[in-house]
Amino acid sequence: MLKAETDYALCPKFEKAFSILGKKWNGLIIDVLLEDGKQRFVDLANKIPQVSDRVLVERLKELEREDIVCKESNLYCLTPRGVALENSMMSVKRWAENWVSESECS
């Protein structure tokens, strides 16, 4: 007798969260804003030098549309929705410290 397929269904909210946070550079942008507070574009670009200016602009706009980042007087900052990610980001950092080897970082 064959094993029945499970009725697992991906939660739409979980899927949406990972589509935002799993996009390359978004986590680093959020982390910089959590760690250092409000930032000018040039400061964000300097702190994440691997990302091109064009992609950084795109990611910031996406995070603004998701109400995670806002722009006030040429400074980018986290909204309350973005600040609420702090515990999750810390959990990911702890996981990475325990499970990601240095050789995987290059």
Question: pTM score, two decimals?
Answer: 0.86
What length is written for the chain? 106
User: What's the rounded Cα separation, in Å, for the pair 68 and 56?
Assistant: 15
User: What's the rounded Cα separation, in Å, for the pair 11 and 43?
Assistant: 36
Q: Are 26 and 58 in contact (CB under 8 A)?
A: no
- Residue among 79, 93, 98 nearest 31 (CA): 93
Q: What is the pLDDT of residues 22-71, one digit of tens each?
A: 999 999 999 999 999 999 999 999 999 999 999 999 999 999 999 999 99
15-96: which CATH topology?
Arc Repressor Mutant, subunit A (1.10.10)
With tokens 């810390």, the residue in question is 90
